Amino acid sequence: AKTTRIAITPGDGIGPEVVAEAVRCLEVLRDKHQLELEWVRFPWPSHAWHEEHGESMPADALQQLQAFDAILLGALGDPGPVNDPDRYLLPDSVSLAPLLQMRKGFDQWVCERPARLLPGARQYLADDRARDIDMLVIRENSEGEYVSQGGRLRQGTRDEIATQIELFTYRATERIIRYGFQQARLRAAQRRADNQSRQFRTQDGRQCDSQVCVITKRNALRYWGDLYTEVFEQVAADYPDVATHHELVDAACMKFVQCPWAFDVVVASNLQGDILTDLAAVLSGGMGVAPSCNLNPDNPELPSMFEPTHGSAPDIAGQGIADPTAMLFTTARMLEWLGRQDRRLAEAGERLFQAVADDLASQHGQARDTRTIGDAVCQRLG
């Protein structure tokens, strides 16, 4: 197989700290299993790069990254020390822009955020059924509320009007909903292989072993709601084996807390998916363990990007105490994704997932620093 190449972009805050542990795991896996894997580290996008060059990444950044099979990103954003007025501060809209540019530039239209409460992870909900939380939130990642269209009229006056357009196309709606149904089938097949099963009911009362729940706000936002509803019904007709479910986003928030174990695959728009996945992350152990990936499933020429759901956490940066678990799960998912071309990478991804999950299960709730967790996982791999 040809050598698989990864662009490593550690970013800001705790990004470099958790990425360092991911790289150590990749080294162990590469050496032990003779993987045809190499990586290049980039100092951008980052706040530091911006301070030196006046931009978060070089003008040809996307061209440089396009030569890689995947991008492993730590985290972006750095508000600087709160009480230091001399420090050059970068607004979020600037320091986080590269993230959105990469998603857009590489057409990473799927954002996959699994939320599964694994043994050893912190259980925030008191109800012990929380142990069964196992959902995959699929966030539409290419349009919707994130198209950045609109503007400010009569800016700075008391008559100012700001508009922020949400845009939903049939094409992007159809592909994300279909992706959701495909994932539901794959998850059910995986459960069968593991001798597990889950039961969901369709509206007409039939039992299914998987489910897709689509999120809208169609009682108030009609045009988008109708489009999502119609496309959902159309696509669902191709998957009679998958139960369907529709939730309004406000009710979904309530049910995520009340009975999150009742969800399987959840498909949501860009912003609503963003919000729901922070909630889902907490339900499944917190930001320290929540993986995420930005995928382009149909063009192998364009790299997908792997970054945990968490941000750069400036409040704990530099102390070596950030939990690298989310980053390591994200790296495992990256290897599985790359394993579509090279089976051995997929196996390495499964090994890494298992090592991190075993480490989590064995920690008995004690607080460990970044390096200690990285060491423990490397030891399991080696």
Contact residues for ligand IPM, defined by CB under 6 A = 96, 99, 274
Contacted entry of Mn ion, ligand IPM, none for residue 243, CB cut-off 5 to 8 Å set by kind? none
Contacted entry of ligand IPM, Mn ion, none for residue 136, CB cut-off 5 to 8 Å set by kind? none
Beta carbon of residue 290, minimum distance to ligand IPM (angstroms, whole number): 10
Beta carbon of residue 322, minimum distance to ligand IPM (angstroms, whole number): 17
Beta carbon of residue 137, minimum distance to Mn ion (angstroms, whole number): 11
Pick the piece of the chain touching Mn ion (CB under 5 A) from 192-200, 222-230, 267-275, 344-352: 267-275
Pick the piece of the chain touching Mn ion (CB under 5 A) from 15-23, 93-101, 268-276, 298-306: 268-276
Binding Mn ion (rule: CB under 5 A), the pick from 17, 78, 145, 274 is 274
- Report the 10 Å Cβ neighbour count for 363: 17
- Contact call for residue 112 and Mn ion (CB under 5 A): no
Pick the piece of the chain touching Mn ion (CB under 5 A) from 29-37, 220-228, 253-261, 272-280: 272-280
Beta carbon of residue 258, minimum distance to ligand IPM (angstroms, whole number): 23
227-245 exposure pattern, b = at least 16 Cβ within 10 A, e = fewer: bbeebbeebbeebeebbbb
Measured from the CB atom, the residue of 274 and 323 that comes closer to ligand IPM is: 274
Beta carbon of residue 355, minimum distance to Mn ion (angstroms, whole number): 27
Measured from the CB atom, the residue of 96 and 133 that comes closer to ligand IPM is: 96
Beta carbon of residue 220, minimum distance to Mn ion (angstroms, whole number): 23
Residue of this chain nearest to Mn ion (CB atom) = 274
Residues 6+ apart with CB under 8 A from 346: 335, 336, 338, 339, 340
Measured from the CB atom, the residue of 137 and 381 that comes closer to ligand IPM is: 137
Beta carbon of residue 82, minimum distance to Mn ion (angstroms, whole number): 22
- Report the 10 Å Cβ neighbour count for 150: 12
Measured from the CB atom, the residue of 274 and 336 that comes closer to Mn ion is: 274
Instruction: Return the HEC string of the chain.
Output: CCCEEEEEEEECCCHHHHHHHHHHHHHHHHHHHCCCEEEEECCCCCHHHHHHHCCCCCCCHHHHHHCCCEEEEEECCCCCCCCCCCCCCCCHHHHCHHHHHHHHHCCCCEEEEEEECCCCCCCCCCCHHHHHCEEEEEEECCCEEEEEEEEEECCCCCCCEEEEEEECCHHHHHHHHHHHHHHHHHHHHHHHHCCCCCCEECCCCCEECCEEEEEECCCCCHHHHHHHHHHHHHHHCCCCCCEEEEEEHHHHHHHHHHCHHHCCEEEECHHHHHHHHHHHHHHCCCHHHCCCEEECCCCCCCCEEECCCCCCCCCCCCCCCCCCHHHHHHHHHHHHHHCCCCHHHHHHHHHHHHHHHHHHHHCCCCCCCHHHHHHHHHHHHC
Contact pattern for Mn ion over residues 67 through 106, marking x by CB under 5 A: ----------------------------------------
Beta carbon of residue 309, minimum distance to ligand IPM (angstroms, whole number): 6
Contacted entry of ligand IPM, Mn ion, none for residue 99, CB cut-off 5 to 8 Å set by kind? ligand IPM
Beta carbon of residue 233, minimum distance to ligand IPM (angstroms, whole number): 28
Measured from the CB atom, the residue of 95 and 244 that comes closer to Mn ion is: 95
Residue of this chain nearest to ligand IPM (CB atom) = 96
Measured from the CB atom, the residue of 111 and 355 that comes closer to Mn ion is: 111
Q: Are 292 and 307 in contact (CB under 8 A)?
A: yes
Q: How far apart are CA 47 and CA 87, in angstroms?
A: 12
Measured from the CB atom, the residue of 112 and 274 that comes closer to ligand IPM is: 274
Measured from the CB atom, the residue of 52 and 92 that comes closer to ligand IPM is: 92
Residues that bind Mn ion (CB under 5 A): 274
